[in-house]
Amino acid sequence: MKKLLIPCVYLKEGKLIKGFSDGECISSDPKSYCTKLSVNGADAIIVFDLSKADDEHEKALLTIRKITEAIDTPVYGAGCVDRLEDVKKLIYAGCKKVALNMAKQSNIDLIEEAGKRFSKDRIYVCADSLEQILDNLKLIKSNTSGALLLGKISLEKFDELPIIPVINEEGDEKEILSKSCVAGLSGDLVNRKTDDLYAFKALMQEAGLCMNINECHIRWDELKKDDAGLVPVICQDAASGRVLMLAYMNREAYEQTIREGIMTYYSRSRKELWRKGDTSGHYQYVRSLYSDCDNDTILANVVQIGNACHTGAYSCFFNEIMKKDEKVSNIRNVLTDVMDVILDRKENPKEGSYTNYLFDKGIDKVLKKIGEEATETVIAAKNPEAEESKYEIADLLYHLMVLMAIKGLTWDDIMQELANR
């Protein structure tokens, strides 16, 4: 089990404060602060929502959504979780895990249902003491993926459950992380090292702990460089497969990219390193790096935050040189292609278009059609043959896409939401 370093932040009234009992403001820009934690090596970030009222909590959810959209680092939601609806809202806001506070018996009563409804992999518990965990161990093991423990773990041998101690006092980091049940470390003990968590991981690795550090299978010396000592890098969106940009790496950029898991290049014009996103916030989180058959070109698959091009375009490749009239349809892109047509009809109405007819009639007409198509899909499914279901499902999807266009949603939004579940 690789040990994780997980800073935690406390969100109150739209600002980040120092802790549960210390209301000192440390940042009025939670998104930028969490982005800095992400690029400085955080393996995850715990966000404790300390809201007192429902309207403040709703605003906090919007802030958490902005944070999760700005980084690829997992965010764990905690605080203000009293109902299954609260769990759902945090997951919808992009949180990878949600912690139920065991200080409340009503939350303990929610553990089983939350684990079954949202998957145990998405649920954590937050305990004030190890005793709270031990008293409910079977329930927690069956329905959650671990526990946040507000304080040090006192038992030397406890392998029943992955524990992340949230420690806001001095302590021996190596001793705590060396415990077999400790999956990671959080709290001020980690927060104080967030200027460079990569260095701290390396230190703990040298001390014999297995930390969450990227492994490199091809050394820089094994790559073939051009006359300037550089290697070209083709950067590709890991989700869509679209080519985003072409840039170059020197040894330092290559080694920093592997160390951080965030794309860093060498600027030939400025003759300096540049970590993509430091200026724009549009970081590129590495999913994989491959070299080609000659070891003279690198292909990087990344999670692109925002747009890749300095012009504001999603990809640097948008200047059409030549294009044949024949349309080559990639079946994997059909939903996106159809959505593009629907959006074009919305912006450029075409006489006689059924899509424009629906737009003109408005959302009530579209919702009525969705209801009709859903019913026809159910009826078709009762037929032992699959052919009729195929047609009805296609009709239902089309009308859902018209609704998506009205609501300003894209397939990327929907697929990301599904990926978050």
- Mean pLDDT on 175-201: 94
Tens digit of each residue's pLDDT (9 = 90 or more) over 239-259: 888 999 999 999 999 999 999
CATH code 3.20.20.70 region(s) in the chain: 4-206
Closest CA to 408 of 311, 342, 348: 342
Contact 68, 28 (CB under 8 A): no
DSSP state of 352: T
10 Å Cβ neighbour count for 262?
A: 22
What superfamily would CATH give domain 235-304? Phosphoribosyl-AMP cyclohydrolase (3.10.20.810)
pLDDT at res. 20:
83
User: Given a cut of 60, is residue 84 above it in pLDDT?
Assistant: yes
Residues 6 or more apart whose CB falls under 8 angstroms from that of 97 comprise 74, 76, 77, 121, 122, 123, 124, 145
Tens digit of each residue's pLDDT (9 = 90 or more) over 2-32: 999 999 999 999 999 988 878 899 999 999 9
DSSP state of 122: G
Closest CA to 147 of 81, 86, 97: 97
Angle of helix 334-347 versus helix 411-420 axis, rounded to 10: 140
Q: Which two tokens stand for residue 70?
A: 């700005």
The structural architecture, per CATH, of the domain 4-206 is Alpha-Beta Barrel (3.20)
CATH code 3.10.20.810 region(s) in the chain: 235-304
For 335-339, the CB contacts below 8 A with 24+ separation are 335/397, 335/401, 335/411, 336/411, 338/398, 338/401, 339/401, 339/404, 339/405, 339/410, 339/411
Tens digit of each residue's pLDDT (9 = 90 or more) over 339-355: 989 999 999 999 889 99
Contact 399, 373 (CB under 8 A): yes
Bridge partners, 303 (sequence order): 285
Tens digit of each residue's pLDDT (9 = 90 or more) over 49-74: 999 888 999 999 999 999 999 999 99
10 Å Cβ neighbour count for 406?
A: 16
Tens digit of each residue's pLDDT (9 = 90 or more) over 99-130: 999 988 999 999 999 999 999 999 999 999 99
The CA-based angle 15-17-20, given to 5 degrees, is: 130
CATH code 1.10.287.1080 region(s) in the chain: 331-420
Contact 197, 5 (CB under 8 A): yes
Q: Which fold has domain 331-420?
A: Helix Hairpins (1.10.287)
User: Given a cut of 80, is residue 421 above it in pLDDT?
Assistant: no
CA distances (Å), 421 to each of 123, 243, 327, 372, in order?
A: 11, 27, 35, 28
Q: Give the separation between CA 315 and CA 322, rounded to whole angstroms.
A: 17
